[in-house]
Structure 1
Amino acid sequence: MIAIYNTHLTDVLMLITGDNQGEKLTATRIGNVTKISRQDNGETVAWNFFDVSTLFPISENGQVTLTAENIDKLNVEIKTAGFSDRLVLDTKPKFVVGEIVELVAHPDSDHLNIAQVRVSEDETIQIVAGAPNARVGLKTIVALPGSMMPNGALIFAGQLRGVASFGMMASPRELALPNAPQKRGIIELALSEVVGTAFDSAKHWHK
């Protein structure tokens, strides 16, 4: 779940809960709550909550972090509006230390690779990437599905040249790190970094 607050849209909190994958959307507004769903399968992909500052204190524009109490209040609004959905707070970090454990060339590209990336002690995901410095054993920062990059790009599971990809290995520039080199290549971390650790710019970037 990605939460975005924007006072320029008159006190609106937008929650992105799924990937519309380019499909047409339909919006249903009841009171101060709008449910946004895919037309093809009815899946809920987003919510808009108007006048949200009347529910709990909020002021910072851009991506915001919600608490369990915030989610409870939003669920009350959803129920009061007559929707049957229920939001579930996801507290897992979306930017984590990952380690490339396998790398093979993409069968339909001369610059992409298919990487198996360990993102926790018991989870390995597949990521299609074109970083020239990607190699087995490299530790880097992985943006998991459901994350939002500093430039506003949303990361969801998808396909690149017909191969499934479940996240993105990020460069210093993509992470908006200070003095990031303006060239291609994912961030390279010390081998001592622990897989699954949440990204911390102060800890993981020293240039």
Structure 2
Amino acid sequence: MNVFYNFHGIGDTLIIFMKDIEKSVLTYEKKGDAVRIFDTNTNETAGFNLFNVSSYFKVEGNGNIELNEELLQNINDSLEKNGFTTKLEADLSPKFVVGFITEKEKHPNADKLSICKVNVGEEQLQIVCGAPNVEAGQKVVVAKVGAVMPSGMVIKDAELRGVPSSGMICSARELELPNAPQEKGILVLEGDDEIGETFTF
């Protein structure tokens, strides 16, 4: 679940994105200040728009808003006040974490891609990476599935040339870090960062 707010761009509206559904099958249901967007065939919810959101609670930030327990509760309370009984749930675990590349092998169907096994603490992810400097033994920044990049891109499970990939190994430029090098290549961490800990930027 991703949450977006831009007062100057779209007004006092909170956009709650839950699932990517083909636009041609979408319809909506409006109750008060809340609109549910859903699939007409399956009834699956794609998301909600909450209008006049500042009359319900204060939104901190602009653009992609970091979801926490308080914000999730505020959203659920506001939807309930407008007549929706659905309780939204979300994975609130950190989405940008320190990872350690345990294995790297060449992609069988693409010369410039590598298949990496990456330890992110509680699990090991398989991530297809196209960076020329990626190697086993590196400590890196991993954007897990569900992460929203500074560019607005949402990280999803994918399949690259027939190989499943869950997450992204990030470059400094993709993280929009100050003085990030412009040449291609992942950010390799040199400090004492613990594997699995949250990477803040």
TM-score (norm 1): 0.86
Secondary structure (helix, strand or coil) at the match of 1:111 reads coil
8 Å contact 1:5–1:63 — kept in the other structure?
yes
Counterpart code for 1:55: Y
Counterpart code for 2:77: V
Cα separation, 1, equivalents of 2:3 and 2:104: 33
**Residue 25 (structure 1) shift:** 3.5
Secondary structure (helix, strand or coil) at the match of 2:120 reads strand
Q: Which moved more, 1:176-185 or 1:18-27?
A: 18-27
Tell me what 1:161 maps to.
161
Q: Which moved more, 1:130-139 or 1:64-73?
A: 64-73
Is residue 176 of structure 1 aligned with residue 176 of structure 2? yes
**Residue 84 (structure 1) shift:** 4.2
Is residue 88 of structure 1 aligned with residue 92 of structure 2? no
Cα separation, 2, equivalents of 1:141 and 1:22: 33
Rate the CA distance shift 1:187–1:55 in 2: closer, same or farther, 3 A.
Answer: same
Cα separation, 2, equivalents of 1:48 and 1:193: 38
Tell me what 2:73 maps to.
72
Unaligned 5+ segments in structure 1 are: 202-207
Q: Which moved more, 1:173-182 or 1:96-105?
A: 96-105
Counterpart code for 1:44: T
Tell me what 1:134 maps to.
134
1:44-80 residue CA offsets vs partner (Å, 9 max, x unmatched)? 2322111111111125321223443332232133334
Cα separation, 2, equivalents of 1:168 and 1:174: 10
Rate the CA distance shift 1:12–1:158 in 2: closer, same or farther, 3 A.
Answer: same
Is residue 97 of structure 1 aligned with residue 93 of structure 2? no
8 Å contact 2:149–2:174 — kept in the other structure?
yes
Structure 1 vs Structure 2 CA RMSD? 2.2
TM-score (norm 2): 0.88
**Residue 149 (structure 1) shift:** 0.7
8 Å contact 1:68–1:89 — kept in the other structure?
no
Counterpart code for 2:62: N
Rate the CA distance shift 1:197–1:11 in 2: closer, same or farther, 3 A.
Answer: same
Tell me what 1:204 maps to.
none
**Residue 39 (structure 1) shift:** 5.3
Q: Which moved more, 1:64-73 or 1:89-98?
A: 64-73
8 Å contact 1:115–1:129 — kept in the other structure?
yes
Q: Which moved more, 1:148-157 or 1:85-94?
A: 85-94
Tell me what 1:205 maps to.
none
Tell me what 1:6 maps to.
6
Secondary structure (helix, strand or coil) at the match of 2:57 reads coil
Q: Percent identity?
A: 40
8 Å contact 2:28–2:38 — kept in the other structure?
yes
**Residue 23 (structure 1) shift:** 7.6
